[in-house]
Amino acid sequence: MKTKLFTIILCCFLTFNYAQEDETVLRTLYTASLTDGMSYEWLDHLSNEIGGRLSGSKNAELAVQYTKAELEKLGLDKVWLQPVMVPKWERGEKEKAFFEVAGFVNEVNICALGGSVATPKDGISSEVVEVQNFEELAALGKENIEGKIVFYNRPMQADLISTFNAYGGCVNQRYAGAMEAGKYGAVGVIVRSMTLRKDDLPHTGSMSYGDLPVNQRIPSAAISTNDADLLSKALKKNKGIQFYFKQSCQQFEDVLSYNVIGEITGSKFPNEYIIVGGHLDSWDLGDGAHDDGAGVVQSMDVLRLLKKSGITPKRTIRVVLFMNEENGLRGATEYAKVAKEKNENHIFALESDAGGFTPRGFSFAANETNFNQVLGWKALFKPYLIHYFELGGSGADVGPLKSETNVLAGLRPDSQRYFDHHHAANDTFEHVNKRELELGAATMVSLVYLFDKYGVNPITNHRKIKE
Amino acid sequence: MKTKLFTIILCCFLTFNYAQEDETVLRTLYTASLTDGMSYEWLDHLSNEIGGRLSGSKNAELAVQYTKAELEKLGLDKVWLQPVMVPKWERGEKEKAFFEVAGFVNEVNICALGGSVATPKDGISSEVVEVQNFEELAALGKENIEGKIVFYNRPMQADLISTFNAYGGCVNQRYAGAMEAGKYGAVGVIVRSMTLRKDDLPHTGSMSYGDLPVNQRIPSAAISTNDADLLSKALKKNKGIQFYFKQSCQQFEDVLSYNVIGEITGSKFPNEYIIVGGHLDSWDLGDGAHDDGAGVVQSMDVLRLLKKSGITPKRTIRVVLFMNEENGLRGATEYAKVAKEKNENHIFALESDAGGFTPRGFSFAANETNFNQVLGWKALFKPYLIHYFELGGSGADVGPLKSETNVLAGLRPDSQRYFDHHHAANDTFEHVNKRELELGAATMVSLVYLFDKYGVNPITNHRKIKE
């Protein structure tokens, strides 16, 4: 009985001390990020010196070289490039579009969707049919669609609090709109831009033709929300409006590119891997500062902040800058494939790919035991106004690493402004706030520190306690 | 025993039903704000059609007229103006400042602090002495300060998570810097702008000479952070740098202005008052969109959203648009004075004066019973990512209404970007995000709805249950 009591007291004492140590470490990490972070400086270079980094482009190559060189300056144990073949699609000349009402030409702002085919050289002009969804399209059928341009105009739902949910409710129009409309003989597709803002900027993004035969692949473009509203209004008042658009985008052969990886080898459990990452590629219209320059530089700073704060990780901590998240996910697929081949035990993978805004918390993919462990850490984050610890998705790039026993997580920044910039020309450095970016990096490194210290499951913890 | 059990079951049932009704009402209010709010449109007018609204200015008068007219359109029970005499200070011509190093003139960006006296017509030029705080100033003493310009350069602390705390740690330099330096015979004061950002914008704000005799009142200006760093660096390398500045600001006689008030009279307890407000005046450099146009339009929309959602308040709900928060607090003082004279029982007062950013929660001034009641509502706000319910300050304008039994609260939006714009030329409409603003209004009206429904203390609740 005495022994039991002693054990309880000892446990309480140890728990208290552990918690106190963790509080101190988190304070150190947040201070380091806010007063001596590198994320903002790196993002400045990535955005302003390099710019948009579409997979297979010269800029993507420059970004690979730059981030590798910067990681090499950090004194990590290893830095390397992981080869991966990626798609190469180019936008070509600036797109052009207009529609005429009563002899008045309304020029509208469009951009080709990533992966779309071009229009014929002189563009296409045809009657335009507005639909809200695929059900309406099917109801109209071939007799009403053939030879026409389909205009998908379902807006993002403004009453949803998470703008990602609003995006999720609309993005099938962009991704599969051409595939669906092509089946009914449409000659082109115009999609309302995926943003809650009313402005003149078209937002690009990936689309797919699925298994559609080449001769049924029709050009597909996004139109700005202001112009979508203008067109919709005109269609309500006028019959047979002709819409013209021209785009000269092109798909090339796949080219060689790379994931950029850096590593601090674990001091006690080098075969347990914790990774943190974002994607190095971006769309081409802006400079990809939020999507996903922010995630890249925050992930890089996680390793730097650990080193800077004198923390010697027990487990191997890797930063992985994934190539080709936007239009192929080839980097993520390759990383997971190699990890599996090498039988690398990835116990925790954290992704930042939701913009460089004030962090609110994390979304986790984890079993109950591991999630409960995570919930036990939540109070540590309260001083930093990090409240959101919920089960849900993690991220596209870390997704392929999921196992029964590991934990995946995605940083969840405030989402209100994300789709104002997402895949558009205004996804640029000046729209990233330095402190918001740095708070994200601090929040990420804090969680990485805790996973490194405590591991992810009872077996791991047991081993830790025995040390 | 049976009766007791029945009571418990009934209570559980009622609690459940109450909670469910509240969930539904909050969902309705958030949806109304996000899909059919007026706050953004009103802010557009206030910022872009009227502009900066310094107390006693023509613009402040226009803002009074505009908001009164808009409130009158809402079908409230009463709308009126409450007269109040306010200070009138004018900036005059654009300020000018430079310092010379080795024959090279460095022009720097300054602005007069609100309430400062002018320099002589041709400006002043003198040696400049940098200090971090009043202790350093005192240590230097009259022999090192007399005839010189004092440069206060203590930066806001970047490692604090709340930027308001960082501001609180520095603002005495701005407010009392001239008063302190004047005691030692300084001829002018330059203060590092109160922002965490490094940029070229000077940030104005209120200052006071206290009881200092008129002949000891010295001109006081803010300098941009970039220029503060430049000057500080130059001072470290060079002795006897001369600093020149010129400003032509002027204090006039007090003028008549107004608080703008609108009211929905309570259907059951008309003598219990709930108020929601922000301040109508702003500084003059920007258009006062965040400080505090946002709070004004959100408060106006609280009453509109209640009416629009078909809610008939039991208690009297007032919107109060306070005049002269920035440099006098005369509107708040007058409102509280009149409320006291009329013996109006203000059970709850909510202020929004921390920018139109994503709301994170509220800070409350309340006794334990009332705060516990509020904590019981916290879960209702979880779907809207409102997590912050803490005891603390409320706001400058509602502060004078505090009593033992009532509750005061301040909306707490995300604070990271606030001081990027605070009192500077870039506090403008385009830096307010529509959804962030609307979420703030929705969060405010939700809390007002709950206080109206449940009241603030056991006596009130008891009365409610007996109805």
Question: Could you report the per-residue pLDDT of B187-199, keeping only the tens digit for each?
Answer: 999 999 999 999 9
* Residue B97: strand pairing partners: B245
Mutation for testing the B interface, residue in A159, A357, A419, A421 having most B CBs under 10 Å = A159
For residue A458, the model assigns a pLDDT of: 53
Sheet of strand B388-391, all strands in order from the earlier edge strand to the far edge: B78-90, B250-264, B315-322, B269-279, B345-351, B407-413, B359-365, B388-391
| pLDDT above 60: residue A385 | yes
- Considering only CA atoms, which of B411, B389, B383, B40 is closest in space to residue A162? B383
| pLDDT above 70: residue B396 | yes
| pLDDT above 60: residue A459 | no
pLDDT by residue (tens digit) across A84-113?
999 999 999 999 999 999 889 999 999 999
What's the one-letter identity of residue B244? Y
Chain-chain contact of A385 with B385 (C-beta, under 8 angstroms): no
For residue A467, the model assigns a pLDDT of: 34
Write out the E strands in A139-187: 149-152
Average pLDDT for chain A: 95
pLDDT by residue (tens digit) across A138-157?
999 999 999 999 999 999 99
d(CA B377, CA B370): 11
Mean pLDDT of B328-337: 98
Mean pLDDT of A438-443: 98
Give percent of chain A above pLDDT 70: 94
Chain-chain contact of A31 with B159 (C-beta, under 8 angstroms): yes
Please tell me the CATH code under which domain B92-248 is placed: 3.50.30.30
Chain A positions in Cβ-Cβ contact with residue B416 (cut-off 8 Å): 358, 433, 435-436, 439
pLDDT by residue (tens digit) across B422-448?
999 999 999 999 999 999 999 999 999
Considering chain A, tell me which residue range(s) the CATH 3.50.30.30 domain(s) occupy.
93-248
Considering chain B, tell me which residue range(s) the CATH 3.50.30.30 domain(s) occupy.
92-248
For residue B16, the model assigns a pLDDT of: 58
As to burial, measured by CB atoms within 10 angstroms (0-12 exposed, 13-18 middle, 19+ buried), residue A152 is buried
Average pLDDT for chain B: 95
Reported CATH class of domain B24-88+253-466: alpha beta
Q: Which residues of A are the active-site residues?
A: 325
Considering chain B, tell me which residue range(s) the CATH 3.40.630.10 domain(s) occupy.
24-88+253-466
pLDDT by residue (tens digit) across B252-286?
999 999 999 999 999 999 999 999 999 999 999 99
| pLDDT above 90: residue A4 | no
Give percent of chain A above pLDDT 90: 91
Q: What is the pTM of this model?
A: 0.94
Query: In Å, how far is A93's CA from the nearest CA of chain B?
Result: 30
Mutation for testing the A interface, residue in B384, B414, B420, B431 having most A CBs under 10 Å = B414
| Tokens (6 digits) for A51 | 């710019």
pLDDT by residue (tens digit) across A167-220?
999 999 999 999 999 999 999 999 999 999 999 999 999 999 999 888 889 999
Please name the residues in contact with A350: beta carbons below 8 A apart, sequence gap of 6 or more: A274, A275, A276, A277, A362, A394, A398, A408, A409, A410, A411, A444, A447, A448
Mutation for testing the B interface, residue in A36, A225, A434 having most B CBs under 10 Å = A434
Reported CATH class of domain A93-248: alpha beta
| pLDDT above 60: residue A128 | yes
Chain A positions in Cβ-Cβ contact with residue B436 (cut-off 8 Å): 416-417
- Put simply, whether A31 touches B (Cβ < 8 Å) is yes
**Contact criterion met (CB below 8 Å) for B322 and B248:** no
- Put simply, whether A94 touches B (Cβ < 8 Å) is no
Write out the E strands in B142-284: 149-152, 188-192, 220-223, 242-246, 250-264, 269-279
For residue B283, the model assigns a pLDDT of: 98
Chain-chain contact of B34 with A416 (C-beta, under 8 angstroms): no
Mean pLDDT of A421-445: 98
| pLDDT above 60: residue A14 | no
For residue B187, the model assigns a pLDDT of: 98
Residue of B nearest to A382 (CA): B388
List the single residue in B30, B159, B387 with the smallest CB-CB distance to A30: B159
For residue B102, the model assigns a pLDDT of: 86
Quickly state the pLDDT bin for A466 (edges 50, 70, 90): very low
For residue B467, the model assigns a pLDDT of: 34
ipTM of the complex: 0.94
Chain A positions in Cβ-Cβ contact with residue B384 (cut-off 8 Å): 161
- Considering only CA atoms, which of B99, B96, B97 is closest in space to residue B234? B99
For residue A213, the model assigns a pLDDT of: 87
Chain-chain contact of B159 with A416 (C-beta, under 8 angstroms): no
| Residue written as token pair 């004078």 | B400
For residue B216, the model assigns a pLDDT of: 86
List the single residue in B385, B416, B434 with the smallest CB-CB distance to A436: B416
Query: In Å, how far is A233's CA from the nearest CA of chain B?
Result: 19
Q: Which of 150-209 (A) contact B at CB < 8 A?
A: 158-159, 161, 163, 196-197
Parallel, antiparallel or unpaired: strands A104-107 and A110-112: unpaired
Mean pLDDT of B305-333: 98
Mean pLDDT of A451-460: 80
For residue B460, the model assigns a pLDDT of: 47
pLDDT by residue (tens digit) across B198-226?
999 999 999 999 998 888 899 999 999 99
pLDDT by residue (tens digit) across A33-44?
999 999 999 999
Mean pLDDT of B381-408: 97
Considering chain A, tell me which residue range(s) the CATH 3.40.630.10 domain(s) occupy.
27-89+253-466
| pLDDT above 50: residue A465 | no
Quickly state the pLDDT bin for A231 (edges 50, 70, 90): very high
- Put simply, whether A380 touches B (Cβ < 8 Å) is no
Domain covering A27-89+253-466: architecture: 3-Layer(aba) Sandwich (3.40)
- Considering only CA atoms, which of B320, B326, B334 is closest in space to residue B291? B326
For residue A215, the model assigns a pLDDT of: 85
